[in-house]
Structure 1
Amino acid sequence: MKISVIGTGYVGLVTGTCLAETGNEVLCIDIDKDKVKQMQEGIVPIYEPQLDVLFERNIKANRLWFSTSLEEGLNHGEIIFLALPTPEDEDGSADLSYVLGAAKEIGKLIKDYKVIVDKSTVPVGTSDKVKETIAKETNVAFDVVSNPEFLREGFAVEDFLKPERIVIGSSSERATQLMEKLYKPFVRSGNPIIIMDEKSAELTKYAANSFLATKITFMNEIANFCEKVGADVDMVRIGMGTDSRIGKRFLFPGIGYGGSCFPKDVKALHKSGKDHNYHFNILNSVIKVNDVQKKVLIPRIASYFNQNLKDKTFAVWGLAFKPETDDIREAPALYIIEELLKLGATINVFDPEALPNVKRKFGQQLNYASNMYEATKNADALIICTEWSIFRTPDFNKLKSNLNQPVIFDGRNLYDIKDVKAEGFYYNSIGRQAVG
């Protein structure tokens, strides 16, 4: 099949590349000329495990191309994916200007029947708005389908190629058949393609992300309470997770959720509720708790150093909002860094992938280390913000030698308390008693 993907951000590039991997002819469109040139030269503009291999393979096989021309994209594809940004607006709603702007141009350029697919995460009713926007510009037949993505950063290629489910929101039998044909190679193991109306499909994505964010936030509240009463959140987590109704996943406490999806989607659903005279009390609490949780380590650090951080240096391990990505959007590490800078601290940072993005944001305010141990040299404490695998089994002797004093503030509970105590460290983590 011939597919066009409008927008080559995280979702668009993964979508286009993975669709090409199953033999489709995919043209990806972006208005950023430099980015398109980069991709035409075989350079992947984002970090995502396995994406580079598929990207290179499908370019060589002449199944994946890139262009800045929307008209070229409309002429090429029988299915047109809109994978455009929907950033958070000032009032918390999703900004649909990119999506609706593209829809208007599609209306001007469309020449024959197309299926227009909303792949971006969009509020309920967006498919109707896209349909109305296109219809104002043309009399050519078309259909609009809602097809939300459920891609985890760090596992996006695997999630696309082996999806747990595919959700298609469509009231058109013609469009539905084309979408089922497109996705059939991805569900050979029997996972479902779920057909529903457009509004239900749009809400499904928001509901799923908001529920997961709520689960994380609830566990962070339990962790905070554990510290008050002397309980161990790891034991509580294990006890809860063995209940099949609850499950083991998303029960790990930490310094809050971040990224491009959870923060934005929770706020957008909360705002959408207000727009329809419905108040999501749970989501309101989730937003507030998560905002506080991102900075939960700051008062502990300040207390340990007697409220004086001006002459202190801190090593920060992990800057991306989660492992296996270079995405720093809403990353808790950034909030911690900003607070420490306000308090006059010097900060050495390291992350396996996110350093370039952080450098663009903070410039020369930070010291950028080439490896995890370099960041700890002459630092007064180590702060762990992202649970990259390479941080899980450090050389504690080297750490103790590099640090001015053996102090670790762990926002991701990477280590066993007894082990770190035996190594001679002061260790402060989430939902567990501080030791040392």
Structure 2
Amino acid sequence: MSRSLRVAVVGAGPAGIYAADILTKSDAEVSIDLFERMPAPYGLIRYGVAPDHPRIKGIVNALQKVLDRPEIRFFGNVEYGVDVKLEDLRQHYDAVIFSTGAEKDRAMDVPGIELDGSYGAADFVSWYDGHPDVPRTWPLTASQVAVLGVGNVALDVARVLAKTADELLTTEIPDNVYEGLKSSPVTDVHVFGRRGPAQAKFTPLELRELDHSPNVEVIVHPEGIDFDEGSMASIRSSKQVEMVVKTLQEWALRDVGDRPRRLHLHFLEAPVEVTGEDGKVVGLRTERMELAGDGNVKGTGEFTDWPVQAVYRAVGYLSTSLVDLPFDTASGTVPHAGGRVVDLDEQPLPGVYVTGWIKRGPVGLIGHTKGDALETVTNLLADADALPACQFPEPDAIVRFLEQRAVPFTTVEGWLKLDAHEKALGAERGRERVKVVDRETMTSVSRS
């Protein structure tokens, strides 16, 4: 590459920061500006990971080291499509990488799913993680709850619902979340998976964490522990699947204890209807499934009604479309070829790229986004000499642009102020951190 590059990254979660990391480690002369809708960085780590996962949040330490590099700047509280558009970015940068992730709930086509008391897991996660753009109250009035799905998010939701508020008080949960969970009358949380235990999508570590609470009895219902040849093939081919299945089998055989709350795991139970009265959830109907031989399932015609008062669907996240970019509504992704965004005729849009969940869909773990970023950045660097030079390459040009638009943007230095402020709030109460929720307060502390 014969010239230096100015690159904008839209989205400062793990995917965007990994892309910036790979760019700065390349042989290219490059300067990178990260744009983030939130006043604080880290995206999914801050607003999508359960608060009782401190080791996962430890990824923040590695991400912060990337943000500290002199070639990288952070512009928080800047919303793409509102404060800055694609045309603006292309005037100031040679290339733009979109890494906006996925934070909406995938729809579920089940009768009654729209009833009052039926919720999306993503919305609940945003509430308990203190996302500034969601309501600060949550209707925790159900004593019996259903969670649909058997991925890591489903287990996070089930665990947070089942635990006592005092157990979570050692984490960074905001005060309103603690008060909401403390008032919850929940006694039983039922997790339903339509396929068998060998097809579960959660990790062994996530599963074992369910059993760590002194107040929650984890009950695996043995009628769902079944295997066909497809299941056995999955067990033989994956150590992770083998560990999950072994744990579930052991739990299905043990005696049920007397902890005050219960978390039930049901396999081979497919939700077919959320039942209601007067517009409110009063139950869930499932159909008993049987394995078809290849790991898939078929219905048996045997139905069960479960008396639950709330239903949480955790069947996947979905990205939202981006202004001025093509979007595949079925997959919830931006069409691309190796990270190069392509138009309706499958022709590349010069200098426009994607990485992370907006590129491949919301699957896999956080670390998997590194592979996405590597492919995208490799192709960006291969295109570098052919990219049209931006009109305003001076680093201060984008600062003037945002100031002229009266955008109250935050910086890395501002994030460090907010970080210190949250830790100070925590120290006053013997906790590591208390998360600030209000956007105005976050911005004010960051810009002080």
Q: Same fold (TM over 0.5)?
A: no
Q: Which structure exhibits the higher relative contact order, with contacts defined as CA atoms closer than 8 Å and separated by 6 or more residues? A: 2
Between Structure 1 and Structure 2, which shows a larger proportion of helix residues?
1
TM-score by length of 1: 0.29
TM-score by length of 2: 0.28
Between Structure 1 and Structure 2, which shows a larger proportion of strand residues?
2
